Chains A and B, each alone.
Chain A
């Protein structure tokens, strides 16, 4: 019996118990008792008690079972003859498993074919244990819940508790996953910082992430100063992109909320939101193939000899366009949240529409707009695809927008693309970069959310 069958059996048992619970509750009702909860709630209660503990047990059992099976197979006479070397042994074991599970006819290694019957038998053995355990749990839980079906029993509250438990579980999974991501970044970064000092990483201005294969190799010393990368990131994402996105996004939000007639708004707003749905790789093409040559030609026309076809300006411009919908929709929300009475008050004093917007609406909406801009910055500096395609690889510290700069995300992609050994500072640097970038965006998001929340309180 496999665990799949056990799963089906548990569900069938739970359904059967639910049916029993419902008919029992109905019987009580037709017997003249006034039920606290509807029969459906009793059925639900019995079902949950029959199904959930058994399913949880199954979920917990399946990883345990794999370990137990492996140990048992290794302990068997056939298993003890396997070679000691881990890689070979593991290959044979997994082949044996695949043969036992019927996924392939024969193994590459002759040992695995011999091992397969043993594997199959052990697998079945433990599946019986796990499946039997789950079925017993289902029967026990269902029977216990069935005894509680009673006119005065508050099955509704019981179901409510289960529902709450499920919701808590779902949110816990999300939170714990985030925590896990942070921890995995953190541990790899710690390994990096044991090889490269944090002060060199955080304050160094030279970025040349290479490690020598031989000690006497030319250019063997790597440099891991991340300042040029973070400067490039900020230059493209927080400066050039925002110079594009803030005015355009804000003005389009003002037009949409204050000037556009309802019909036009109903067309324009979705059109603007389409911009947010364009895959970033498409923006990347646009930046690399269309905007970058134009910017380079412009730079040359302006007499800037160093104008690069991987200029910061091209990547920043396109990133700004990508961010417009984000800025615009946040600004739109906060402008729309300024009460009409404010606008009326200003208009009734003889202010024009634009005076009202400039002097009353925008100051009142400012916290929301600022929050939106911060969120947009955090989005822009974490953005990868556009800069990978359009920004350069040279880690320059420059304020010339026609020059090429590189960004944190571009470098991470470079460091981790292809076959890499995960014990050299070159590769581990990617995790340290990722960690710092994550911390920056985290702080930006926290500030933005705080600003936005404080603003919301002001009008509610």
Chain B
């Protein structure tokens, strides 16, 4: 989503109400709803077909999501003093962060601040970059993901990823989604696989658009549909965490709205970490926001606090558009 679009509210007739107008209406429901939804997630019915209104976090207090994690609640992923080096260059300095099960965590900051690098540490995608070196401790459910006994292939099945540019495989829509379940052997037989494909596409909000053309190529879809296909592909292996690296930066505003809506649908079922350039997006989709600058974590707090009451001057400067 572009900044221009942010400054001039959309006047075109989108099926999705533009968030700024929906904030007040959704605020009360959202705050009250989170706890209830969290409890009900496991047996929650599939979302109804058709677009649902975007819900947006508002700068109002969220009683049960305080800056410090509530007692007894263990974070899904915990990063402790993580540094990343590309050759001799240090891209990330001593970042400590926690990602929670039922929350969307947004990483914001100017280009080159290390937010994507950090995201790629969480499922060890930095392994694929020659010369990248990660120091510090990253835990998933209390297990060090860089430990020698950690199976990186299994880790990536548990921590899925959606990339900046939609990257569907040059295969059919069905095969794109079935790819992960096939390699992990999640389905016994064709009908079970069909079920996984349908469920994943439904959760990604794409089923109704593609159910009649599952055998067409995934690359023939529009950009927004491709990105939702990639989300469906990630969901299909039943991950615990989904990492999204600027998932909307290559999409138009309407496709972006759909992805944001989808992130709301998925919240609570998966721990979600999203990198974004777009501060309004972070404000709309996340409960926690981490602000990175020049490879350092400047501030990590509830989204409402980051945007209304930042502790750090640099955060204040960034969110008010003084740089970045």
Which residues of A approach B to under 8 Å, CB–CB? 261-262, 339, 341-352, 355, 359-360, 363-364, 458
Closest CB in chain A relative to B309 CB, distance in Å:
36
Complexed CA–CA distance, A348 and B153 (Å): 8
**Prevailing SS type, chain B contact patch:** helix
Q: Are B128 and A349 in contact (CB under 8 A)?
A: no
- Assuming the A-B contacts A349-B183, A349-B237, A351-B183, are A339 and B153 also in contact, with contact meaning beta carbons closer than 8 angstroms in the complex? no
CA distance A233 to B171 in the complex (A): 37
Question: How far, in whole Å, are A262 and B129 apart by their CA atoms in the complex?
Answer: 12
Of A347, A349, A360, A458, which is in contact with the most chain B CB atoms at under 10 Å from its CB? A349
B183 touches A363 (CB 8 A): no
B156 engages A348 (CB within 8 Å): yes
Task: Report the minimal beta-carbon distance from B132 to chain A, rounded to whole angstroms.
Answer: 13
B105 contacts A by Cβ under 8 Å: no
Q: Would B130 and A341 count as touching, CB distance under 8 A?
A: no
- Chain B residues with CB under 8 Å of A342's CB are 167, 169-170
- Interface digits, B144-173 against A, CB 8 Å rule (1 contact, 0 not)? 000000000111111011010101111100
Minimum distance in angstroms from B150 CB to a CB of chain A = 13
Q: Are A345 and B169 in contact (CB under 8 A)?
A: yes
Given contact pairs A261-B130, A363-B170, A363-B171, A349 touches B156 in the complex (Cβ within 8 A): yes
Question: Do A348 and B160 touch across chains, with their CB atoms under 8 A apart?
Answer: yes
Instruction: Choose from A349, A350, A351, A364 the contact partner of B170 (Cβ within 8 Å).
Output: A364
**A348: B residues at CB distance < 8 A:** 123, 125, 156, 160-161, 163, 234
Residues of chain B within 8 A (CB-CB) of A364 are: 169-170
A349–B234 CB distance below 8 A: yes
Which of B128, B130, B230 has the most C-beta atoms of chain A within 10 angstroms of its own C-beta? B128
Given contacts A344-B125, A351-B183, A355-B183, contact A339 B154 (CB under 8 A): no
Partner of A347, one of B130, B156, B158, B230: B156
Q: Which residues of A contact B130 (CB under 8 A)?
A: 261-262
Is there contact, CB below 8 Å, between B167 and A341? yes
20 A-B Cβ contacts within 8 A?
A: A261-B130, A339-B167, A341-B167, A342-B170, A345-B167, A347-B125, A348-B163, A348-B234, A349-B160, A349-B183, A349-B233, A349-B234, A349-B237, A350-B153, A350-B154, A350-B183, A360-B169, A363-B171, A364-B169, A458-B170
Q: B240-261 toward A: CB 8 Å interface, digit per residue (1/0)? A: 0000000000000000000000
Closest B residue, CB atoms, query A340: B128
The 8 Å CB contact of B128, one of A261, A339, A343, A458, is A343
User: Which B residues lie within 8 Å of A351 (CB)?
Assistant: 153, 179-180, 183
- Among residues of A, the one whose C-beta sits closest to the C-beta of B236 is A349
CA A342 – CA B176 in complex, angstroms?
11
Judge whether A350 and B180 touch: CB under 8 Å: yes
- Asked whether B184 is an interface residue with its Cβ less than 8 Å from the other chain, the reply is yes
Q: Select from chain A the residue with minimum beta-carbon distance to B131.
A: A262
List of B residues within 8 angstroms of A360 by Cβ: 169
* Chain B 182-198: CB-based contact to A (< 8 A → 1; otherwise 0): 01100000000000000
The count of chain B contact residues (Cβ–Cβ below 8 Å) is 27
- Given A346-B169, A360-B169, 19 further pairs, Cβ under 8 A: A339-B167, A341-B165, A341-B167, A342-B170, A344-B161, A345-B167, A345-B230, A345-B233, A346-B179, A347-B125, A348-B123, A348-B125, A348-B161, A349-B156, A349-B233, A350-B156, A350-B184, A351-B153, A458-B170
In the bound complex, residues from chain B placing their C-beta under 8 Å from that of A458 are 170
Majority-rule SS of A interface residues: helix
Smallest Cβ distance from B275 to chain A, in angstroms?
14
**Which A residues lie within 8 Å of B155 (CB)?**
350
Q: How far is the CA of A364 from the CA of B171 in the complex (A)?
A: 9
Cα distance A342–B170 when bound, in Å?
9
Closest 9 CB pairs of A and B: A350-B157, A348-B161, A341-B167, A350-B156, A349-B180, A345-B167, A350-B153, A351-B183, A364-B170
A262 CB to nearest B CB, Å: 7
Task: Please name all residues of chain A whose beta carbon is closer than 8 Å to the beta carbon of B160 when the two chains form the complex.
Answer: 348-349
- Please provide the chain B residues from 119 to 150 with a CB less than 8 Å away from any CB of chain A in the complex: 123, 125, 128, 130
CA distance A339 to B168 in the complex (A): 11
Q: How far is the CA of A265 from the CA of B97 in the complex (A)?
A: 39
Q: Is the CB of B183 within 8 A of A359?
A: yes
- Complex contacts, A346 vs chain B, CB 8 Å: 169, 179
Determine the chain A residues whose CB is within 8 A of the CB of B233 once the complex forms: 345, 349
CB distance from B259 to the nearest CB of A (A): 17
Docked complex Cα distance between A346 and B170 (Å): 12
CB distance from B160 to the nearest CB of A (A): 7
Bound CA–CA A203/B53 (angstroms):
73
Most chain A beta-carbon contacts within 10 A, residue among B123, B153, B165, B237: B153
Q: How near does chain A come to B2, taking the closest CB pair, in angstroms?
A: 22
Chain B's nearest CB lies how many Å from the CB of A285? 41
Residues of B within 8 A of A262 (CB): 130
Residue of B nearest to A459 (CB): B170
Report B-chain residues with C-beta under 8 Å of the C-beta of A261: 130
Q: Are B157 and A359 in contact (CB under 8 A)?
A: no
> From B123, which residue of chain A is reached at the shortest CB distance?
A348
User: From residue A72, how far is it (CB to closest CB) to chain B in Å?
Assistant: 73
Considering the complex, give the chain A residue whose CB is closest to the CB of B181: A349
Q: Output the residue of B165, B167, B168 with the most chain A CB within 10 A.
A: B167
Within 8 A of A (CB), among B37-82: none
CB closest residue in chain A, given B156: A350
CB–CB A344/B180 < 8 A: no
Measured in the bound complex, the distance between the Cα atoms of B169 and A342 in whole Å is 6
A265 nearest CB across to chain B (Å): 11
C-alpha spacing A364/B170, complex, angstroms: 7
Shortest distance between the CB of A344 and any CB in chain B (Å) = 6
Q: How far is the CA of A415 from the CA of B180 in the complex (A)?
A: 60
Which of A341, A344, A345 has the largest number of chain B CB atoms within 10 A?
Answer: A345
Tell me the complex Cα distance, A342–B230, Å. 11
Q: A455 CB to closest chain B CB, in angstroms?
A: 10
- B residues in contact with A341, CB < 8 Å: 163, 165, 167
Residues of A near B158 (CB, < 8 A) are 350
Residues of the A chain whose Cβ atoms lie less than 8 Å from the Cβ of B125: 344, 347-348
Contact status of A349 and B157, CB under 8 A, knowing A261-B130, A341-B165, A343-B128: yes
Residue pair B170, A359 in contact (C-beta under 8 Å): no
Chain A neighbourhood of B169, CB < 8 A: 342, 345-346, 360, 364
